Amino acid sequence: MKKYNVAVVGAGAVGSEMLRVLKQRNFPVAQLKVLARSARDINVDGQKYHVEPVTPKSFEGMHVALFAGTEGEKGAAVTYAQEAVKHGCIVIDNGSDFRMEKNVPLVVPEVNGKDVRLAKKGRGIIANPNCSTIQMVVALAPIHKMSKIKRVIVSTYQAASGAGSKAVDELFSQTKDVMEGKTARPEALSKRIAFNVFPHIGSFAENDFTTEEWKMILETQKIMHDNKIQVSSTTVRVGVKIGHSESVYLETTKALDIKKVKAALAKAPGLIVVDDLKTSNYPMPIDCEGKDDVFVGRIRKDPFNPKGIWLWVVADNLRKGAASNAVQIAEELVKLNLI
């Protein structure tokens, strides 16, 4: 089997998860470089990795570079992606900097995997979508094939880890403070996360939607190649460590048999249906942690609209929402002989 030289740029929560996923999915790695702003050693599942300072020359001889990305600020890919491409490397960027560029494919392999081919014709960069978008489109795609989706209304319940390791630390420390009767002060997040829920992820933008909400709108249309899908979103931060949940309402162009919808979802790649109401069995973040699939349940018809369907969608935001999707994109490149 042919093997490939891989660079992972970023050694935080997502970068570490990328290293974990590469190993667990047995990606054919010949040489592995871990790059970040400064040199250090990190430990992932008992394995030591040496982190080198990233420079333009770091990408010499590399076939693919996985950039962990930084939400809310310019990621390392802005500085180094084109340098990597100059060295013949294909960049897979988990940040938001290139997602909506016309000549950069935005890819979820189960939905539009073949779009990776566009990287060769474009800038040599493939963008990893927003974590909440990824899990939603994996669930929407099989239904869209049955009947075009007209509109989607989604409310997300996003884990603290979506805001980084400092937000997770804050969830734990604030929980301890509240239990001890102390004042829990927000620092990493805009509001207190312990024993709280707040509808504010990203910054407020056009029409009073947040940037996170606009990502879900625009990215869904781009990934599914359908600008007519009307998406409206409310993104919410909740006191969960790992795993984003979504309440998704969708309306199709024609009425669908709900049994056939469930069957299509059960057969779809990357989806696991957990929907046994007799045993109160439905997806929860604690059951999805550490897994690469998207889980869907509470599948039901709108009793007042024959074309309306409700879904409850859950996934590990650090894996399928970030690291695993990026590695799956690299696997798609291997499958299509593009690296």
- Choose the catalytic residue: 63, 89, 144, 244: 244
**Residues 239/132/207/187 CA torsion (nearest 10 deg):** 40
Task: Outline where 157-300 has alpha helix (H).
Answer: 165-179, 211-223, 258-267, 285-288
Q: How far apart are CA 9 and CA 36, in angstroms?
A: 6
**Considering only CA atoms, which of 33, 106, 25 is closest in space to residue 63?**
33
* 244 is known as an active-site residue: yes
The upper half-sphere exposure of residue 326, i.e. CA atoms within 13 Å in the direction of its Cβ, equals: 36
Q: How far apart are CA 135 and CA 263, in angstroms?
A: 18
- Choose the catalytic residue: 89, 131, 144, 288: 131
* 200 is known as an active-site residue: no
Q: How far apart are CA 171 and CA 240, in angstroms?
A: 8
- In terms of Cβ atoms closer than 10 Å to its own Cβ (0-12, 13-18, 19+), residue 227 is exposed
Are 272 and 297 spatial neighbours (Cβ–Cβ below 8 Å)?
A: no
Q: Residue 137 corresponds to which tokens in the numbers above?
A: 């489109």
Residues forming the active site: 131, 244
